[in-house]
Amino acid sequence: MDFKSAIRTIPDYPKKGIMFRDITTLLGNPRAFRAAVDALVQPFAGLKIDKVAGLEARGFILGGAVAHQLCVGFIPVRKKGKLPHTVIGEDYVLEYGTDRVEIHADAVEKGERVLLIDDLIATGGTAMAGIRLLERAGAKIVGCSFVIDLPELGGAQKLTAIGMNVSSLVAFEGH
């Protein structure tokens, strides 16, 4: 499957100079969506995985489908203030300020093996925060799988540098 051709590129969104990689076209194509879910799982075939964690928001769509494929539970890693029960959170730095991701305090049992999923890895800030949060909750991260890598921004390298097994389906140059 040629995943690049299934992903729409929108120039100058959300601001001038940014090439936005829109996976809604991939999600709307049944063959591409199915192939992407299979490909996100494939590098981790044979590993014991107890749960899949998806980063808000497109990571929910992909992560939910991957969890279904693996017959395991799903953990939504949400932005601050979105979960209704007791939460634990992790702050991370943005270009201009900070943000926070949260999970329910009871989302992970100590020692559970978790696969982290998102649509895109750029600078790695959100993924790193998700990893730290899940590990603090007791999870063992078995890997991180993304549809798109923007290698110039170095996020996948940061995850690899901390010992994460990182996989992506396509790489796009530029931002």
Active site residues: 58, 95
β-strands 19-22, 73-79 pairing: unpaired
Query: H/E/C letters for each residue in 50-112?
Result: CEEEEECCHHHHHHHHHHHHHCCEEEEEEECCCCCCCEEEEEEEECCEEEEEEEECCCCCCCC
Q: Are 81 and 144 in contact (CB under 8 A)?
A: no
Q: How far apart are CA 26 and CA 39, in angstroms?
A: 13
